[in-house]
Chains A and B, each alone.
Chain A
């Protein structure tokens, strides 16, 4: 069951912690966004395997933009 990870707020992608194929558990750190000069960590909404990563480092994302897919 694929699940999109959505951006919780608008910001810039600072770093991506995981890679495609990584197995993650709920609440694991997935990537770091920078919003209003503050780092905000995005956590896994559920257990799964990272199947695709849409977010690229340096990219500006809007709230609710898909960042990656957990398969």
Chain B
């Protein structure tokens, strides 16, 4: 009899079977469609094993994946390490050559704040609303970082929503971009940016760290690591560290993050009525953010002779470099000799900073 009690198959619940389908869908999207495969593949597998009964993988204090989750995510270790790698990948040159574009990265957080208020109207708590709103930044690690502290029960759903919308940037953004801009505006060729010196790029991570952390100390774990990675890169004297942060360390932490996040999605935690609202509100947040970036660029054009192509405003969401590529492509449809890519990288990288700052503000107010 004892043997039968240990048989997993007899402990399967209908909810688990539904979660297997969710897991297989994520694995399919990763392998078959190559939607953010580096994350959706481990997440999907994490969902699968967490919903096989009696494995104990997520048993607090004992389970293997619980340990990944507890020490990696709850202890806020992994998202900052991923930000170290992102910093080592980021070139702030396009931002420094046109500092006014930083406003577009800030404007594109509009959806985050708007959704924060909207989610409350749907009955979510302040903490839950902030976590759902941050999906609009389309930044996976930041979403996970905030969710782990404010609303751990929503972490899995919010992370999957954030990564899904990141993968869907090329599908979600272009219709909004075409709707809110005229053909004439999409054809605007921006004036060549000035060259940024190596010294400026070196000073940026240090100065930005001081300024941002003095203003929003709660953003420190992500921001400090992000800027340290960038300092590695721009210092040009620690190639080995830059390389490790960009590749080996990022890959290792991605594995643990993906599996752990997936494993939080047990049937009880995920199959709730409000999950559909999370995905819906997250999508709305992302669309509003895109629109805010576009509209601010149009507004800025009213006051300047040196016109901004509003498409680069849409790149203010922090899906790097996907959103910048989309701005470039939509621009090239209107004028094939218009090369917006590097201009769009300015709002794009400032969007990352903007989302981290938004998370810091939420933590300060609600943490």
Q: List residues of chain A with CB under 8 Å of any chain B CB.
A: 8-10, 27, 35-38, 40-41, 43, 63
Contacts and interface: CB of A to CB of B under 8 A. Distances in A.
Given A35-B341, A38-B325, 9 more contacts: A8-B339, A9-B341, A27-B336, A27-B337, A35-B342, A38-B329, A40-B328, A40-B341, A41-B336
Contacts of A9: 339, 341-342
B53 interface: no
B345 to A, nearest CB: 8
Q: What interface size band does chain B fall in?
A: 10 to 19
Contacts of B336: 27, 41, 43
25 contacts: A8-B337, A8-B339, A9-B339, A9-B341, A27-B336, A27-B337, A35-B341, A35-B342, A36-B321, A36-B324, A36-B325, A36-B341, A36-B345, A37-B321, A38-B325, A38-B328, A38-B329, A38-B341, A40-B328, A40-B339, A40-B341, A41-B336, A43-B336, A43-B337, A63-B342
Contacts of B328: 38, 40
A10 B97 CA distance: 15
A10 B341 CA distance: 10
Contacts of A35: 341-342
Interface of B: 321, 324-325, 328-329, 336-337, 339, 341-342, 345
Closest 3 CB pairs of A and B: A8-B339, A36-B321, A38-B325
A14 to B, nearest CB: 15
A36 B344 CA distance: 12
A26 to B, nearest CB: 10
B309 to A, nearest CB: 14
Contacts of B339: 8-9, 40
Nearest to A38: B325
A40 B336 CA distance: 10
A41 B338 CA distance: 10
Contacts of B329: 38
Contacts of B345: 36
Nearest to B320: A36
A41 B337 CA distance: 8
B151 to A, nearest CB: 34
Contacts of A37: 321
A35 B325 CA distance: 10
Most chain B CB atoms below 10 A, which of A8, A36, A41: A36
B114 to A, nearest CB: 29
Nearest to B336: A43
Nearest to A33: B339
Contacts of B325: 36, 38
A22 B342 CA distance: 30
A50 B193 CA distance: 28
Contacts of B321: 36-37
B233 to A, nearest CB: 16
Contacts of A40: 328, 339, 341
A7 to B, nearest CB: 10
Contacts of A43: 336-337
Most chain A CB atoms below 10 A, which of B324, B328, B336, B337: B337
A10 B337 CA distance: 15
B334 to A, nearest CB: 14
Most chain B CB atoms below 10 A, which of A27, A37, A38, A63: A38
A39 B345 CA distance: 16
A55 B193 CA distance: 23
B152 to A, nearest CB: 34
A29 to B, nearest CB: 10
A8 B339 CA distance: 7
Nearest to A44: B337
A56 B292 CA distance: 42
